Structure 1
Amino acid sequence: MAWHGREGQRIHYQDDGRGDTVVLLPGWGGSVIELNQLRSELADGFRIVAVDLPGSGRSQPQPRHYTAGYYLQDAQTLLGLLDELGVGAAHLVGFSDGGEDALLMAALRPARVLSTVTWGAAGRIVASRELLDGLTCLVDKPIEPLLTLAAYLVEAYGVEPARIMARSWSEAMSAIIDAGGDISRSQASSITCPTLLIAGTDDPFCPPALVREMADAIPRGKFLEVPGGGHELHRSHARWLASTIAHWLGDH
């Protein structure tokens, strides 16, 4: 299904099941298909609205040109989708950029969010110059930590669209970091719902210390660290992650 949002956006989503609504958000450049195992684990007892982020998966526009304000734009777009679907309040479950959007949505509209679960998200962006430079030339000269991402983007979007996406995303990240790196960290006290932030010990993009700091700043925040885990816990620790999220949602 698709919803036509602001300024030519076409947001792809899948809406299945019955019960309290769970909004499932994949990461930058990703697709809801990557979270199918998690979706199936949560399908019993919940309405699952799985959404491709603007410019990713089957959502348009593509290739997307990212700006420093894209997190706020995306959070507002996703809240607009909830309005369109008649969802008054929902649980938000997100990975990486999807997790950042979930935290920002919870800060912007506390009454709309029942609980939040994220992995690979911290409310703030911190990245080395090497990593940012690596994103700029991701398609043509990928550095070792980004080899998998580069291969995925080229396969999913094609060489030139992937090149445009990566370059503009790198520029947006640089602008955000130059401004202090804040996404929702400064608004953490406004996130009033129960919030679980999960981080892998070996996550190169979202270090556990940064995630713990965000969890501590949220009034009802909780932090979990996964020993040996990296960024994509839905791949490396799929069963554990699905079970943990299912229990969290059941308790809230």
Structure 2
Amino acid sequence: MTRPPAGPPPHHTLDGPDGAPPLVLGPSLGTELSVWDPQLAALKREFRVVRWDLPGHGGSPSVATTTVPALARGVLALADGLGIGRFSYAGISLGGAVGAWLAAHHPERIASLVLICSSARFGAPEAWHERAALVRESGLGPVADTAAGRWFTPGFAASPEATALLGTLRRRIAPAGYAACCDALAGYDLRGDLARITAPTLVVAGRTDPVTPPPHARELVDGIPGAGLLELPGAAHLANVERPAAVQAALLGHLAAPPDAPEALRVPAPHPSEGTAP
């Protein structure tokens, strides 16, 4: 099977002072780069922040299909075009998978890594192929109808922040691009390459995340040498939206910490579970 090309660099925004250390932020499936708004004000004081959009999300054009490596090559093309060599990276869910793949396959480019509610494998490929087929046939309505239960805890699902993100999913995400990203998740399995990641890594999990529950985070921590783990109570899949201050503190602390600092956050790892599709 011919791998999809990287395509043009994704739509992006730049914030923060010229010359500050670069930080690239990757979004989750079904959201735009604005999903990082809760942390942006603090991060842009310390970093030159690059946020990017997935295909068919925000300002990025749709593609027929894609893979995590293709998305990662697009991020590298974006960094190259901006004159950025080595950078820190933080990503949510699929955006985290892109960062993990980059750290495993291009370790010279990744200075530090934060994976938020992400995974080395997002469940069975069949579920993602079914999701892609549903969206291509029926649009995003059926997916949007059930997104609140995956993304947020019940007490947060009616908040203005949650309502805005669910509205974005319904109105601003192209079904073709969303389905292509489902293809990427179906083909993604980094479990055999986690040991190749040498960047200082922090894994953040929402304790009540039904999509990538804590066992997924612990699998990442067990596989990535020296990785640290932070589990956040009262958070589901979009933990940076539901627990913005805690995620902001974790980002700033890890990105400013010495390489061995995350070790103190390690916890024992039970057998990983499959979780639920985002």
TM-score tier (shorter):
0.7 to 0.9
Structure 2 CA distance for aligned equivalents of residues 75 and 129 of structure 1: 23
Cα shift at 1:237 = 0.3
Structure 1 pair 30–143 and aligned structure 2 pair: CA distance change class (3 A): closer
The match for 2:273 is: none
Amino acid across the alignment from 1:205: V
**Structure with larger RCO (C-alpha < 8 A, sep 6+):** 2
Partner-residue secondary structure (3-state), 1:224: strand
Please tell me whether residue 86 in structure 1 is matched to residue 83 in structure 2. Answer: yes
For the 8 Å contact 1:136–1:166, the answer to whether it is kept is no
Count of matched residue positions in the alignment of Structure 1 and Structure 2: 233
Partner-residue secondary structure (3-state), 2:11: strand
Cα shift at 1:229 = 1.5
Q: Structure 1 length as normaliser, TM-score?
A: 0.81
Q: Which runs of 5+ in 1 are unaligned?
A: 1-5
Structure 2 CA distance for aligned equivalents of residues 101 and 76 of structure 1: 9
For the 8 Å contact 2:31–2:168, the answer to whether it is kept is no
Please tell me whether residue 210 in structure 1 is matched to residue 222 in structure 2. Answer: no
Partner-residue secondary structure (3-state), 1:44: helix
Cα shift at 1:231 = 0.2
Partner-residue secondary structure (3-state), 1:137: helix
Moved more, 6-15 or 127-136: 127-136
The match for 1:125 is: 122
Structure 1 CA distance for aligned equivalents of residues 7 and 112 of structure 2: 30
Moved more, 13-22 or 99-108: 13-22
Cα shift at 1:152 = 3.6
Aligned positions of 1:162-173 closer than 5 A: 162=175, 164-170=176-182, 173=185
The match for 1:197 is: 203
Amino acid across the alignment from 1:85: L
The match for 1:31 is: 32
The match for 1:235 is: 241
Structure 1 pair 200–19 and aligned structure 2 pair: CA distance change class (3 A): same
Amino acid across the alignment from 1:96: S
The correspondence for 2:104, drawn from 104, 107, 120, is: 107
Cα shift at 1:142 = 4.2
Q: Which runs of 5+ in 2 are unaligned?
A: 150-164, 259-278
The match for 1:155 is: 171
Deviations 1:202-244 (A, max 9, x none): 1111121121111111112111111231000121101111111
For the 8 Å contact 1:15–1:47, the answer to whether it is kept is yes
Structure 1 CA distance for aligned equivalents of residues 126 and 167 of structure 2: 21
Superposition CA RMSD, Å: 2.6
Moved more, 75-84 or 145-154: 145-154
Amino acid across the alignment from 2:64: H
The correspondence for 2:228, drawn from 222, 231, 240, is: 222
The match for 2:41 is: 40
Cα shift at 1:185 = 2.1
Cα shift at 1:141 = 3.6
Aligned positions of 1:131-146 closer than 5 A: 133=130, 136-137=133-134, 139-142=140-143, 145-146=146-147
Q: Give the strand-richer structure, 1 or 2.
A: 1
Structure 1 pair 135–221 and aligned structure 2 pair: CA distance change class (3 A): same
Q: Structure 2 length as normaliser, TM-score?
A: 0.74
Structure 1 CA distance for aligned equivalents of residues 57 and 144 of structure 2: 22
> Identity rate of aligned residues, in percent?
27
Partner-residue secondary structure (3-state), 2:55: coil
For the 8 Å contact 2:212–2:237, the answer to whether it is kept is yes
For the 8 Å contact 2:221–2:227, the answer to whether it is kept is yes
Structure 1 pair 59–168 and aligned structure 2 pair: CA distance change class (3 A): closer
